[in-house]
Structure 1
Amino acid sequence: MRTGIAVAAAVAVLAGIGVGVYVLADDGSGGGTASSQQDRRGPGGQEDPFGGSGGGGGGGETPAPDSPGESEPPTIDSGSVTDPVSGISLPIPDGWSGQQLQVGATVTSDDSYKCPGDTSKTCTKGGAYSAPAVVLGTKGSTAEEVAKADIEANAEESYGGESYGGITSHDELASKAVTVAGQKGYLVRWKAVTSKGADGYVESLAFPSPADPERIVVVRFGVDTGERQSVIDEITEGIEVDSSGGGGDGQDV
Structure 2
Amino acid sequence: MSMTPPPGWYPDPNQPAVERWWDGTAWTEHRRTPGHAQAAPVQQGFGPAPDPAATAVMAPTASSGGGRAKVIALAAAGVVLVTAIVTGVVVLGKDDGDPRGGGPAPSPSAPTDPTPTATATESKSASPTSDPNVLVDDLNGITLPVIDGWEKAEGVINDEPTLQTPDTFDCPGDPGLCRYGEVTSHTVTSTDETSPKALARGDIKDATDSVYGKDVLDNEHYGGVSGHTKVKEGTVAVAGRSGYYVRWKVRTGKGAGGYVQSVAFKSSIGSEPMVIVRLSIDIAEAAPPLSDMDRIVKGIRSVGDNATGGGVGEDVGATPDS
Q: State the TM-score bracket (shorter-chain normalisation).
A: 0.5 to 0.7
Q: For residues 297 and 262 of structure 2, what CA distance do their matches in structure 1 show? A: 11
Map Cα deviations across residues 198-242 of structure 1 (whole Å, 9 max, x no partner). 311000001001214641000011100223111111110110111
Kindly provide the CA deviation profile for residues 33-90 of structure 1, in whole angstroms up to 9, marking residues without a partner as x: xxxxxxxxxxxxxxxxxxxxxxxxxxxxxxxxxxxxxxxxxxx894011000100001
Residue identity matched to 2:228 = H
For 1:163-174, what aligned pairs fall within 5 Å after superposition? 163-174=221-232
- Cα drift, residue 160 of structure 1: 1.6
* Match of residue 130 from structure 1: 185
Matches within 5 A, 1:42-81: 78-81=132-135
Q: Which has the higher contact order (CA 8 A, sep 6+)?
A: 1
Q: 1:192 to 1:114 in 2, by over 3 A?
A: same
Cα distance, 1:142 vs. partner?
Answer: 1.1
Q: Distance in 2 between matches of 1:152 and 1:213?
A: 27
1:94-243 mapped onto 2 (5 Å cutoff): 94-99=148-153, 104-119=160-175, 121-134=176-189, 137=190, 140-161=193-214, 162-212=220-270, 214-226=272-284, 227=287, 228-243=289-304
Deviations 1:131-164 (A, max 9, x none): 0011xx3562211111111000111121122100
> Offset of 1:99 from its aligned partner?
4.2
Counterparts in 2 of 1:193 and 1:176: CA distance versus 1, 3 Å = same
TM-score normalised by L of structure 1: 0.61
Q: Secondary structure at the match of 1:193?
A: strand
More helix by share: 2
What's the counterpart of residue 44 of structure 2? none
Name the CA distance, whole Å, in 2 between partners of 1:77 and 1:201. Answer: 28
The match for 1:84 is 138
- Cα distance change on mapping 1:84 and 1:178 into 2, 3 Å: same
In 2, are the aligned partners of 1:156 and 1:167 still within 8 Å (CA)? yes
Q: Structure 2: how far apart are the matches of 1:130 and 1:138?
A: 16
Q: Name which of structure 1's ranges 201-210 and 139-148 shifts more when overlaid on structure 2.
A: 139-148
The SS at the match of 1:154 is helix
RMSD over aligned CA atoms reads 2.1
Change (3 A) 1:200 1:77: farther
**Structure 1 CA distance for aligned equivalents of residues 172 and 191 of structure 2:** 29
| Separation in 1, partners of 2:193, 2:248 | 19
What is the aligned-residue identity percentage?
Answer: 36
SS at match of 1:155: helix
In structure 2, the gaps of 5 or more residues are: 1-129, 215-219, 306-322
Instruction: Report how many aligned residue pairs link the two structures.
Output: 166
The residue type equivalent to 1:165 in the other structure is G
Amino acid at match of 1:192: V
Cα deviation digits, residues 4-53 of structure 1 (max 9, x gap): xxxxxxxxxxxxxxxxxxxxxxxxxxxxxxxxxxxxxxxxxxxxxxxxxx
